Chain A
Amino acid sequence: MSELSSNAKKVIEEHLGRYPSKQAVTLPALHVVQEEKGCVSRKAISEIADILELSPAQINDTLSFYGFFRTEEDPLGKKRVWICRSLPCMLRGGDELLAELCSRWNIQPGQTTADGEVTLELAECLGACDGAPCMLVDDELTLCVTADDVEKQVRGGA
């Protein structure tokens, strides 16, 4: 059975016409797969490589450069919460916010809660320094957050 969904294949096909090289579709392909499955498996890497006429090693080379992508050994939870730790957020409590969430959820950055709901990540500057400390949930920014705000937004206050 194919690891790539029909939607993922369709998205990859759509992107092929936009670039003069097939390799340029590597990031769009990795994005669509991770968005659907929470990780990019070895099988998915190999199927992407087939479509783009590359070796799986080339796809893996790109994938592993960007800390963004997860392998099947280490998949994402349902929500991915990034807490910014760069200077403007650090100056306004970003480190304390991250530590508080780690303690409330009993995980370290990079890990997922036991119920598989939330993966907590450290982010470098999220580009929302006017609202420090800030967080990114999946790809949506929220400015000026407290630990209670984060819990309410990602865990429904539970």
Chain B
Amino acid sequence: MSNAMHNKTLTELKAGLAAGDFSSRELTEHFLARIQQHDSELNSFITVTAEQALSQADAADQAIAAGNTGLLTGLPIAHKDIFCTEGVRTSCGSKMLDSFIAPYTATVVEKMAAEGAVMLGKTNMDEFAMGSSNETSYYGPVKNPWDLERVPGGSSGGAAACLGARLAPGATGTDTGGSIRQPAALNNITGLKPTYGRVSRWGMIAFASSLDQAGPMAQSSEDCALMLQAMAGHDHRDSTSLNEKVDDYLGALNNDIRGLTIGIPEEFFPDTLDGAIADNSRDAIRELEKLGAKVVSVSLPSVKLSVPAYYVIAPAEASSNLSRFDGVRFGHRCDDPKDLEDLYKRSRSEGFGDEVKRRILVGAYALSAGYYDAYYRRAQQVRRLIRDDFARAFEKVDVLMGPTAPETAFKLGAKKDDPVSMYMADVFTIGVNLAGLPALSMPTGFINGLPTGTQIIGNYFREGQILNVAHKYQQATDWHKQAPVFGGEQ
């Protein structure tokens, strides 16, 4: 039975713990053993916190015995290494923070721990979340469990890969331009980026503050609902976290979707799109039609400018956010700085990788005197046009759907020398971040043995509805239950 534990969803594991089928310690040991056994191939974890996990598991078992359980009591979770965890290295995938033992814990981690979650470790990611392939990590690329020669997507690539390979049943991710949804699609898992402001950013190392949002990644929509229930909520430490009531996501999962209106943005099915990718998403939409949803065509004309707008706004914010990594108070400091300028320049140049440096330069350039209006200001104006497009669409529809990513997982190194082509990996996901909307990616079939995903975008704070639609789909299909043949076992 224990062999099958890793194929169970969080919801099933929660039931198993409640029924006494296994203890949290057994469960935790099982996943730690799987990580030990398989992660050398995948490289999905930067740090495994086995000792801490077992002690949390023991505490969870006592809580279960005492009948004093939270939403996630005893369930093993992997946290993206972007969340500060007190006493545990928090690297953000960067050499800059290779020695950074966080002096405090992120709100997301704290809230999940308060609900009884067991932290397995910290997952690999693109450096400072800047990337769509997990190849920019200082700790080396993560491999896609469906094909070890391919990328897992990014930036939450470690989270998606460890879930896909069933090395963890649930993981946190962050999504600035698609960093939860794109890797979710490429690893056949489910991932949700909530509404901007739904989940606290306190303790989550900032990439682009007005776009970053943490969310759940798991095998199913139901599991994402369970995790989001624990993660969401107002935090007085984050000015941008909204003081809106947290919905009952679990309670809404089984709502009837008859009469639901699904909008299909024509821009998400351009002529240039791989036909097989388009077909998988269209099939998923047809499945929902069978369940009673209506489908209408909509247009989001400005969304085609999301990638250029994003690649001004995100680097601009990042260039400023990453200024604090200066070698003075924490993080990497170069050897024997000869003066202050030398300290800054060498520490930063040694500590940051190429992609991070490129984005800092683009951002600093876009904000510099003489270019602000042409780049930054204009990008912020286009951002409003994009948001207005979505707002108009949501006057007519409940959710929008389309492919999550324009292609399946590509070969490691394929786009290494072509940043612009890499940026196009997020062409369907970025608009949602610019507008601040919630969106989920769910598995909707394969192309040549590689997973594809379909995105469901909802209106502000309608996470419950998105999860409901995805759950209905997942009850009717079994794409999300497919796991890779990995390490010689199923």
Say if A and B assemble together. Answer: no
